[in-house]
Every structure is written in C-alpha cells, then in structure tokens.
Amino acid sequence: MQLVHRFRIPAVFCALAVLVCELVSRPYANMGVCDDWPYILTAQHLAETGHIAYNGWPAAMIGWQFYLGAAFIKMLGISLTHARISTLVVAIVTAFLIQRTMVRSNISERNATIGTLALVLSPIYLMLSATFMTDIPGLFAIVVCLYGCLRAVQTSSARAAIGWLWLAAMTNAICGSSRQIAWLGVLVMVPSTIWLLRSKRAVLFAGALANVVGVVIVFGCMIWFKHQPYTQPEHLFAGTISISHMFQELLNTFLDIPYLLLPIVVLFLPQVRKSPLRIVTALFLGLLLVVVHPRHTGQVFLLEPTQGDWVDVHAIFEYLFLKGAPPIFFNTGARVVLTLLSYGGLLGLIASHFRRRETASEVESAGTISWRQLGVLLGPFAIAYVLLLVPRATTFHLTDRYTLGVLVVILIYLVRYYQDRIHRRLPEAAVVLVALAAIVGVAINHNLFALYRARTALAAELRAAGVPDTSVDNGWEYDMGVELQHAAFLNDHRIEVPAGTHVPTPAPAAGTCYWYYDPFPHIHPIYGISFDPDACYGEAPFAPVHYSRWLASKPGTLYVVKYKPSSAVDEAHFRGSKFQ
C-alpha cells in the first residue's frame, strides 16, 4: 500500500488508460478535425519561423499550445498527427492530475480512480484528446490550478501555501492562454483560495501578489491578442439576443451533463425508490417519454444526447456539412435507455438531498478539506463558468465540449457526495459501467477518425482522376484546409484586424449545392462528398469508399455526388480515368 501511495499507481493507471484507449482506436487522419487545421498550420509556421501568424480562424488565443505543438513538429516532422500528439500528451498528464485532485478533495484513492476514468475514458475526452483543439489544454490549465489551490489550503506551512498559490496562479495564467475561459482559475479560483487563507497574513499578502501578477499576465495576453491580425475576437454579446434560444441551449447543455458523466450519475438511480418523491419522479419520466417536440414531429422530446455535437446520435462530430444524413449510432431504443439512466440518476441525486442523512463518513486521504472549503473553491468558479456561457447561448450554439471545464467540478462533487452521504465505496457496478463507457468511447473515437480517413481517401481518388481539391466540397473542415493552401488567411467577415480584410464572395450559379462559399473563395466545387448517393444531382462515376464503424450494424459509406446538372459537369475530368 505504501508503494502504491509513493508512486501514485492509481493516477498512473488513469494516465495509461487514456494512452491505451487512444492507441486502440487509431485516431489519425490527414485532414482537419473541427477547428484544428488552421491551428496546426500556425504551429507549423511557428516551428519553421519562430513567429506566430494567425490565419483568420482563431477565436481562442491558443497561446502556449502553439509552442507545444511546434516542439512536437520539430521533433517528429511536419504532420497533422504529430501536432495532435502534443494534445494527447497533455490529456495523459491531465488524467493523472484529475485523479490526484480528486484525492486531494478528500475522496478515497479507489473512488477517485473510478471517477477519473469515468471522465477521461468518455467519448468526448478521448475524441478531443486526439485533436489539436484547445479544450484539453484549457482543461489542463483549470485542473493544475485547482490542484495547486487545494494543496495551498491543506498545507500547514505558510511558505508551502505561498508556493502552491504562486504555482496555481502562474500556471493558469500561462496555460490558460490556450483557451481564455480557463483563466477563470486565476481570476476566480485563486482569489477564492486566498479568501480561505486570509487568516494567515503572510499568505494573504504573498498570495494577493501572485494573483495580481497572474491577472496582469492575463490582461497583457488579451491586449496582445486583440491587436493580432487575422483573428476573430470574441465579443461578450454579438448579434440578436434571443431569450428563448438561450433557454433552450442552456437546458440542452444542462441535461447533457448527466449523460456525459453517466457511469457516476447512474449510481444515484436507486435513491429514487427511497425518496418520498418517487411517485412524482415516475410520472415525470413517463411524461418525458411521450411528449413530442412541436418543431420535430415524431421525435421524442429531450432524449439523450440532448446537446450532442461530438457525442451525438451519429457518434461523430456533427457539423461536417457533408450531403446526406450520417448513419445512426444510437437508435431510438438506445436513446430511451440512456435518457432513463441519465435523468433517473439526476433525479436520484436530487431526491437523496431530501432524505435524512447520517453523519458523513471519514475517508483517509492525502489531506482533509471540508465541504465548506470545497464549496468556496469550486462554487464561484462554476458559477462564473456558466455565466460566461450565457452570452454565447443567446445568439450561438453551445456544444457539448464547452462543458468540459466544469465537468471536473461536477465530478468531484458527485463522487465526494456519494462517498460521504450514501456509501463509503463506489459499488462494483461502477467499475463495470466505466468499462462499458470506455468501450463505447473507443468505438466512437475510432469511428470518427475512420470517417475522416474515408474522406481523405475520396479526395485522393478524385485527385488521381485529375479533379483538384478546389473543385470538391469535402465538408467545411477539409475545405478550410484547402483554402489555406491557396490563401494566407480565410475570408471571414468576423476578422477585425486589419480592417476591410473581408471581401464578399459572389454566390455560385443557381442550382449548385454549395452554400458556405464566402470564407473559401478559392473553392468552386463541381463535386461533393455525401452519405447519400442520390444527393444533389446524383452519384458521380467514382468508386464509393467504405469505412469501419465499431459497435454499429454495418460499415459507413461515402459517395461522390455531382453539384451541377450533368450537362454542366466538366466531362474532361473523366477522360483517361479508370472511372470512365
């Protein structure tokens, strides 16, 4: 047991579990995933020139993540996968830190390990860990800040507390530059910690100084980023504000959280039958499964995943903008089961608060921290995090990955509450649930990148037939990378520096299927990639590409379809081709 504690074996196991699951799922593809292709191109430019040059897409600063990606590119060579390996390394370290943070939150080693695995082996964590997106590095900045704050509160030495506060403030100020919302660590969490330690005068003054230095770094970075050319500044409120849209987005996001943490949330399900509210709960669940959304006839209202954009019914990143509908991964039956488990667990958690509770159990840990102290550390941060999502919810779409930063806070609360108020040990069923979630997570991660590899295979097939990438619509992520091969920056109207950069692109001729043409003026597609061979003007004479879909009934298939009527298609592309 002493050996386990000394070498942090449970935390190492969590980190290695992430690595093994990623290797099994084979998450590589020679194209952009969501927003990450422009980010990787900037990292490549940094590796080659030593300078950061944005290219018209970033709203996130990305900051230190550029340097980490550039370091891996210089070590391993220019490749999208090599840059993404840097994110995987951060994800592995973050998994280790989450487990240690949970232990420092007065959660037992076993429970902390199960709770950590429930998050880091979930589909959303595994998928984002295999990209160059900013979510995982931003989460790392939050977790390392929280860990430092917990250590500061738990140490009896004033000097050690000061050291941990400085570590928390500086790491968050620097690492939060990858994703600005992560700066809530130094802006909210560190001041909350200083408040808890205010009785120690030396710690109060030294901690306040660390906080001031961190805040100066944050605002210095923000001022620098504001003046960088070819970025997209994030305004607090933009466009028309819709209260109804905000309510729907926040509701969907809130109800998606139990689904994203399902292996832990479902443990509260037995508490429903122990509550006097069980009749109301049963009626609510019954009503939930029969109410039909008025705008989507035939679809059951609020079935999980409610907000899924990464972990959705198709088990792929949703906004591909390919023609046709992707194959379904979670059918209606599976969604009903997931909804019952998610909402049932949530209601069980709520119901457990109405029961008469015994005294909280004492758990051995690396240090003790009370519920009040934990509330002061996590509560203001969580509130500020949610409040920053509200402006985006009024005009834009909230994606499930936006919840990643607050999922750790909720996870700590759930596991600690179960341990203290329900049972000292998480049940053995939790291990089974985490294993099942990991299997689904690996499958979804594999399926996503298998789809991306199929898209690059079709692009190569078309190039071999003499069709350039600029004549093909392969989804907006691929088209964005193609555009940046022909232009230094994207033609986006949200770019403010330098002024007047955006030049409106003339709309394509009537009858074409291409509609998001404005940011990509070099792309004039006559073909598109589709899940449906009959989309647009029908299938073009190119061989479809099949891709594997683990845990699905059949593999997926992508087709090349015509974007113009047959008479308008340039038949010269077929001459001499094996597809003629």
Nearest residue to 189 (alpha-carbon basis) of 136, 153, 159:
153
What range defines the domain where residue 342 resides? 258-352
> Phi and psi (nearest 5°) for 472?
-130, 135
Structural domains in the chain (count):
3
Q: Which helix (H) or strand (E) holds 393?
A: helix 371-395
Let me know if residue 357 belongs to a domain.
no
Residues 6+ apart with CB under 8 A from 403: 253, 256, 257, 260
Q: Which helix (H) or strand (E) holds 264?
A: helix 262-265
Which of 393, 413, 437 is the endpoint of a domain?
Answer: 437
The answer to whether residues 329 and 419 belong to one domain is: no
| pLDDT score for 308 | 79
Contact criterion met (CB below 8 Å) for 113 and 411: no
Which of 386, 411, 437 is the endpoint of a domain?
Answer: 437
Q: Is 274 exposed, middle or buried (0-12, 13-18, 19+ CB in 10 A)?
A: middle
Q: Is 340 exposed, middle or buried (0-12, 13-18, 19+ CB in 10 A)?
A: middle
Q: Which helix (H) or strand (E) holds 546?
A: strand 545-547
Length of the chain: 580
Q: What is the DSSP letter of 200?
A: S
Contact criterion met (CB below 8 Å) for 313 and 330: yes
| pLDDT score for 367 | 55
Let me know if residue 324 belongs to a domain.
yes
In the block, residue with structure tokens 């989804």: 475
Residues 6+ apart with CB under 8 A from 138: 176, 178, 179, 181, 182, 404, 405
The answer to whether residues 560 and 476 belong to one domain is: yes
What is the helix, strand, coil percentage profile of the chain, to 5? 60, 5, 35
Spatial distance between the Cα atoms of 205 and 314, rounded to a whole number of angstroms: 53
Identify residue 109 by its one-letter amino acid code: E
The answer to whether residues 408 and 478 belong to one domain is: no
**Assigned token pair, 532:** 């449906």
Torsion of CA 251, 257, 260, 266, to 10 degrees: -110
| pLDDT score for 3 | 52
Q: What is the DSSP letter of 533?
A: T
Count of CB atoms within 10 A of residue 11's CB? 22
Which of 376, 402, 437 is the endpoint of a domain?
Answer: 437
| pLDDT score for 332 | 87
Spatial distance between the Cα atoms of 61 and 534, rounded to a whole number of angstroms: 41
Furthest-apart CA atoms within the chain: distance in Å: 82
| pLDDT score for 58 | 82
| pLDDT score for 188 | 98
| pLDDT score for 132 | 98
Let me know if residue 247 belongs to a domain.
no
The answer to whether residues 290 and 392 belong to one domain is: no
pLDDT (tens, 9 = 90+) of the chain, 580 residues, equals 555 566 689 999 999 999 999 999 999 999 999 999 999 999 999 999 999 999 999 889 999 999 999 999 999 999 999 999 999 999 999 999 999 999 999 999 999 999 999 999 999 999 999 999 999 999 999 999 999 999 999 999 999 999 999 999 999 999 999 999 999 999 999 999 999 999 999 999 999 999 999 999 999 999 999 999 999 887 776 667 778 888 888 888 998 999 999 999 999 999 887 776 666 666 566 655 554 444 444 444 578 898 878 999 998 988 888 999 999 999 988 998 898 899 889 888 988 887 655 444 545 444 589 999 999 999 999 999 999 998 888 877 889 999 999 999 999 999 999 999 999 999 999 999 999 999 999 999 999 999 999 999 999 999 999 999 999 999 999 999 999 999 999 999 989 999 989 999 988 877 789 988 899 999 999 999 999 999 999 999 999 999 999 999 899 999 999 998 875 455 444 444 444 3
| pLDDT score for 352 | 87
